[in-house]
Amino acid sequence: MCGIVAYIGSKEAYPIVVKGLKRLEYRGYDSAGVALMNGDLRVYKTKGKVSDLESAAKDADVSGTIGMGHTRWATHGEPNDANAHPHLSLSGKVSLIHNGIIENYATLKEGLEQRGHTFTSETDTEVLAHLIEDVMINSGLSLADAVRASLKQVVGAYAIVILSKDNPEHLIAARKGSPLVVGIGSEAGEYFFASDATPLAEYTKKVIYMKDGEIAIVENKEMTIKNIDNVVQVPYVHELEMNLEMLEKGGYDHFMLKEIYEQPRSIYDSYRGRFNAASGTFHMRSLEEYSEQLAQIKRLILIGCGTSWHAGLVAEYLFEDFARLPVEVEYASEFRYRNPVLFSDDLVMAISQSGETADTLAAMDLAKRKSATVFGVCNVVGSSIPRLSDAGAYTHAGPEIGVASTKAFTSQVTVLTLLALGIAKARKTMSDKEISKVMSALEEIPDKIEKALLLNDEIVKLAETYKDSRNFLYLGRGYNFPVALEGALKLKEISYIHAEGYPAAEMKHGPIALIDADMPVVVIATNSEHYEKVVSNIQEVKARKGKVIAVVSEGNTSLDKIVDHVIQVPETIDALSPLVNTIPLQLLSYHIAVMCGCNVDQPRNLAKSVTVE
């Protein structure tokens, strides 16, 4: 969702800010704007893309070594020029960009209106720009103190950056609930600010992940970080593990395709150095440090949204099979508003690629308040979810730029597999030999995925055949029921074709009514104890003239005469089959979306990290 980039230093700010905004495009947005300081404060903004902003500012003065930019994903007020950020205060001297939601903006606005303020947009953000100036004028406070005093009045979430015409050497930034990363430049007094580290990677490896309630004040080439009570904080400077190559398409047409092809490597990175298959032992800090507590858990509750929730569903099977734990899988958005019964020996595991999903964060917060232990499985280092977790494990998939999650999903499943095995070991529900066997099978997965990727040409042809279908059904059983859900989600989110995932046997309880000669049904029918049952489900579809695309294990030709298309994938143990079986479904949705002329990396209405509820 909204993206923030800001720069203060000796270089021209505009190109840095615009390039940074382009790096953040993957987050999803509908308008863009910049503010630049060069004696005067100049603001340019427009509905549309960053390229539209560049066109709008083509002949304008964009000079200045202090600047900030924003991409807005509309929440309060439609996407238009007026609602785009930066917003200005009443006098036009204070400019502000904001990511998040100011929940009490209507009350604040009413108070300001009574004091003569008028507004040019429908946004909550403009209210904050006015409030800061109002506090400065009425209380005679400095800019930094007025920001602090104003933020004390704000209820909601924010990451903000502020520039002020009367403080031409200052830049102020603050966060609460929305992410903000500071990059420390190579020259004295040079700082970069961004919603995530991707715009910073080409300038610096030294970053500070700002904490909730912190305010960064840059003045006289020095940055001071204080908390909301004005106490100076000592920030931890992290080494950024991200390079430019990870942020570029590297010859692929889309980030999504690049990320699909990266999976042999990303899965390897997710487990690399974390176990020894020969001995069945682990080298995972969270498992080592918490092995006693993990052995005592009575119940596991997995929470997440979208694709991460699907990874949780795969993990339900893994934890039940391996660790013999009662497991529940919950949508974070539902869990947060229920009154769940939680105990101190429950483990709540939050799964997230971005680490910033508002619903998942709120669900974790609820679990903590109800005294459960919270474990985070997350991809983005330094994001909010790992920070809120009592313990956790990173998935190490590398930056995922395509909005549709691909490599993050398979890395989540990989790490969840290790955690299920680790808890199985702590609870003694599997022998070391059994654990070793799964580990060895996991070590073969990157090669098997490499092989599955060779199906690409075959899948292009399949996409050609079915690209005009308006509905799809995806069926799977056991470990592959969540894969069916994930296959359907991938198709609908990037090609806008309606698709549903179902447990294969549930079909006859409703969706079978939909089946006719125009309904393609993708069935995951790889070898497992359910194989024969899935074949019966296929027969049910064929009896109603549905078109069946069957994903089967390599060498299985028994369905060739029954179904319309067969995709043979390398075989692995059932528990790991979601890792391999997901690949052809990702490729199918990718190629259909491309053939339908859709914007694969930035599908309409979607945001990469959903920081609002």
Residues interacting with ligand F6R, by CB under 6 A? 305-308, 352-354, 357, 360, 404-405, 489, 493, 609-610
- Minimum distance between the CB of residue 156 and ligand F6R, rounded to whole angstroms? 20
The helix (H) or strand (E) run that includes residue 500 is strand 498-503
**For residues 549 and 564, what is the distance between their CA atoms, to the nearest angstrom?**
6
The one catalytic residue in 2, 22, 176, 407 is 2
Q: Are 357 and 324 in contact (CB under 8 A)?
A: no
**Residue 485 vs 563, nearer CB to ligand F6R:** 485
284-314 burial: b if 16+ Cβ within 10 Å, else e: bebbeebbeebeebeebbbbbbbbbbbbbbb
Alpha helices in 519-602 (DSSP H): 531-543, 577-595
Q: Is 258 a catalytic residue?
A: no
**Residue 161 vs 610, nearer CB to ligand F6R:** 610
**Residue 99 vs 609, nearer CB to ligand F6R:** 609
Q: Is 608 a catalytic residue?
A: yes
**For residues 539 and 169, what is the distance between their CA atoms, to the nearest angstrom?**
72
**Residue 150 vs 178, nearer CB to ligand F6R:** 178
- Residue at token pair 């008028």: 118
Picking from 361, 300, 313, 372, the residue whose alpha carbon sits closest to that of residue 333 is 361
Alpha helices in 272-351 (DSSP H): 285-289, 291-296, 306-318, 332-335
The phi and psi torsions of 436 (rounded to 5 degrees) equal -55, -40
- Minimum distance between the CB of residue 368 and ligand F6R, rounded to whole angstroms? 17
- Minimum distance between the CB of residue 593 and ligand F6R, rounded to whole angstroms? 12
Q: Tell me the three state secondary structure of residue 347.
A: strand
**Residue 405 vs 414, nearer CB to ligand F6R:** 405
Q: What are the E-state strand segments in 277-386? A: 281-282, 299-304, 327-331, 346-352, 373-378
- Minimum distance between the CB of residue 545 and ligand F6R, rounded to whole angstroms? 31
- Residue at token pair 């296959």: 487
- Minimum distance between the CB of residue 364 and ligand F6R, rounded to whole angstroms? 11
Residue in the shown chain whose Cβ atom is closest to ligand F6R: 306
Q: What angle do CA 54, 57, 63 make, to 5 degrees?
A: 105
Residue type, 6: A
Q: What are the E-state strand segments in 416-456? A: none
- Minimum distance between the CB of residue 408 and ligand F6R, rounded to whole angstroms? 6
Residue type, 611: T
Report the catalytic residues: 2, 608
